[in-house]
Amino acid sequence: MPFFTFLGNIHCHLRRNMIKLIGLSFITLEIEVQYMEFLSNVINGISLGSIYAIIALGYTMVYGIAKMLNFAHGDVIMVGAYVCFFMTSRYDMPAVVGILLSMFVCTVLGIVIERLAYKPLRQATSLAVLITAIGMSYFLQNAAQLLWTSNPKVFKSVVGDGGIQLTEGLYVSHVTLVTIAVCVVIMIALTIFTGKTKMGKAMRACSEDKGAAQLMGINVNTTISITFAIGSALAAIAGVLLCSAYPNLVPTTGSMPGIKAFTAAVFGGIGSIPGALIGGILLGIIEIFAKAYISTEISDAIVFAVLIVVLLVKPTGLLGKKISEKV
């Protein structure tokens, strides 16, 4: 019975990493958690997380109002980064011009996408819109490849390459500081905007109930278009900062960070603006910790496992609103 001999002879080669994974290491002090190394990992985690956060803000903004997962968001980010790249690297314009122009281009792009692809589907199921968004994402990626070739480009950081050396081994780059500052500013601005202004209130009304909002004299179409315009402008900023931190620009640059940011947005409670910031930063820290203390090979699995556990404990994410069901 050769088949049974296979089973009888199963050798499991488990590396220490796997035992660590089970968590024994934390008890047995197998690894000495060095204080400085720990701090440096926290900082690296925040650096990575701040990038996720800034992308997640755009995601969550559009989701919160239009109730749709805009999978093309990551690709709008890519377009924004390309526009800025061409302005600053090819035509030697100052960074500010590059950023403003890329915001402008992305805003227009966002409105055009919304008008052409999403608006005709206002009455359709959310899944239909989701698929259209995916089609849009393919379109942008392939259009970018045709326009700008698939050759990678190295993005020139808009905030310079420098950083602050806190102590030996502890280093915070300017990009991280700027990203966090921008995140906080955007978060506060968005909170005030949606909370206080007339337009913001209209947006919240649309997100609650489109029909009722329309009855109250709110132009739902315009409101949603404006939401996309703002979301896309945020995407441009996110694209510029993403590529400043990780200067590798290809037509698929936006897709994976887009998915991670979406995860971050859900983690923090999708639709919640502070949730996006917290979710993004936590996701970054978890990812770095998983890589540093467990294993780089399975860091992705760990990040997503943590996400699942968190959602099991808090089913609507960290800051998400509880869904109350009417009977």
Q: Minimum distance between the CB of residue 112 and other proteins, rounded to whole angstroms?
A: 13
Please give the Cα distance from 306 to 228 (Å, whole number). Answer: 31
Question: Are 186 and 54 spatial neighbours (Cβ–Cβ below 8 Å)?
Answer: yes
Q: Dihedral (C-alpha) 174, 179, 184, 187: value to the nearest 10 degrees?
A: 170
Q: Minimum distance between the CB of residue 204 and other proteins, rounded to whole angstroms?
A: 19
**Residue 15 touching other proteins (CB under 8 A):** yes
- CA 264, 269, 271, 276 dihedral sign is negative
The residue among 124 and 188 lying less far from other proteins, judged by its C-beta, is: 124
Site for other proteins in 61-100 (CB under 8 A): 63, 69, 85, 89
Q: Minimum distance between the CB of residue 27 and other proteins, rounded to whole angstroms?
A: 21
Instruction: From 43-51, 200-208, 214-222, 232-240, give the range in contact with other proteins by CB under 8 A.
Output: 43-51
Q: Minimum distance between the CB of residue 197 and other proteins, rounded to whole angstroms?
A: 27
Q: Which residues neighbour 132 within 8 Å (Cβ) at sequence distance 6 or greater?
A: 117, 118, 121
**Residue 259 touching other proteins (CB under 8 A):** yes
Site for other proteins in 103-162 (CB under 8 A): 117, 120-121, 123-125, 127-128, 130-132, 134-136, 138-139, 142-143, 145-146, 149-156, 161
The residue among 123 and 217 lying less far from other proteins, judged by its C-beta, is: 123
Q: Minimum distance between the CB of residue 304 and other proteins, rounded to whole angstroms?
A: 4
**Residue 164 touching other proteins (CB under 8 A):** no
- Check residue 29 and report its DSSP letter: T
Instruction: At 203, list the tokens.
Output: 């947006």
**Residue 195 touching other proteins (CB under 8 A):** no
- Burial-class residue 32 by CB neighbours within 10 Å (0-12, 13-18, 19+): exposed
Q: Give the bridge partners for 167, in sequence order.
A: 170
Question: Are 229 and 111 spatial neighbours (Cβ–Cβ below 8 Å)?
Answer: yes
- CA 65, 193, 260, 250 dihedral sign is positive
Q: Minimum distance between the CB of residue 203 and other proteins, rounded to whole angstroms?
A: 19
Site for other proteins in 224-243 (CB under 8 A): none
# residues near other proteins by CB under 8 A: 97
Instruction: At 248, list the tokens.
Output: 């590798």
**Residue 312 touching other proteins (CB under 8 A):** yes
Q: What is the distance in angstroms between the CA of the first residue and the CA of the last residue of the chain?
A: 60
